Amino acid sequence: MKPVAIFRHAGSEGPGYFATYLDEQGIPWQLFKRDEGDLTALNAQDWSGLAFMGGPMSVNDDLPWIAPTLDLIRQAVAENIPVLGHCLGGQLMAKALGGAITRNPVKEIGWGEVSIGSAPQAGNWFGDLTCFTAFHWHGETFSIPPGATNILSSQHCPNQAFTIGNSLAMQCHIEMTDEMIREWCEIGAGEIQAAIDSPGVQSSEDIQRRIQANLGNMQIVARGVYARWVRGLGA
């Protein structure tokens, strides 16, 4: 099998539990560190799938890797090569496919319930689930691009995920590990404190206190989503 190409945009926002799942399934993958200046030009046909992780920047920023990334996503979707986006990665997918990236009405930082839509495509990805608790850390949001279907929503962000073909873009983070959550709370302490009055933001202490109750269940959901995604990978 051709490897999965994974794109990291910040040192603290690696593939996390997604990489754990791929390793458990014996699926090869290669990490491209955009945050360290890796601007390697890729052809989507050389990979079984493409996965894009999060990052603190905006898709609307003038960064040298954004335009080629959008082109790569468009190529992959056109050629039925599965694409997977987490937060910033989902926003990259949305912009590449004709959606818009704008400021969300409120920041979402911490744990929050997402509701699974009634469209048949939602069941394809989440089975019989109607909701689950996901992890969030974003201030912007995407619109649903033409031809895609919205399959997740939350109280503060109506567009939490969309699917198109065998590709999935998420605003929320299902790839989190215990270590990643604690690191983000440390790195992002100032951002949390500046937005603590927002109804979608939890304190660092509250976020970490809820890890034990929420992380295991979210990883069960993540396994199901990733299992669905890897079914689309080519040989």
Per residue in 104-116, pLDDT (tens digit) is 999 999 999 999 9
pTM: 0.97
Q: Has residue 70 been placed in a domain?
A: yes
The DSSP line for 153-189 is EETTEEEEEEEETTEEEESSB----HHHHHHHHHHTH
Q: Which of 144, 93, 97 is nearest to 153 (CA)?
A: 144
Question: Rounded to whole angstroms, how far apart are CA atoms 192 and 132?
Answer: 23
Determine the Cα–Cα distance for residues 169 and 132; give it in Å rounded to an integer: 17
Residues whose CB is less than 8 angstroms from the CB of residue 93 and which lie 6 or more positions away in sequence, other chains included:
52, 73, 83, 85, 142, 145, 167, 169
Residue 214 lies in a domain: yes
* Residue 71 resides in a domain: yes
- Tokens for 43, please give them: 């052809």
Q: Checking phi first, is residue 121 left (phi over 0); if not, alpha (psi -120 to 50) or beta?
A: alpha
Q: Is the residue at 210 inside a domain?
A: yes
* Chain Cα centroid distance, residue 102: 17
As for how many domains the chain has, the answer is 1
Counting every residue written for the chain, the total comes to 235
Following CA atoms 225, 191, 153, 98 in sequence, which dihedral angle do they give, to the nearest 10 degrees? -80
125 domain residue, yes or no: yes
The one-letter amino acid code at 37 reads: G
23-37 b/e (C-beta count within 10 Å ≥ 16 → b): eeeebebeebebbee
Question: Is 8 part of any domain?
Answer: yes
Low-confidence ranges of the chain (pLDDT < 50): none
Question: In this predicted structure, what is the pLDDT of residue 234?
Answer: 77
CA dist., res. 23 & res. 209, Å (int): 29
pLDDT of the residue at 174? 98
Structural domain of 60: 4-230
- Asked if the structure places residue 111 within a domain, the reply is yes
Q: Say which CATH number the domain at 221 has.
A: 3.40.50.880
In the prediction, which pLDDT does 235 show? Answer: 52
Instruction: Look at residue 116 in the predicted model and tell me its pLDDT.
Output: 98
Residue 235 lies in a domain: no
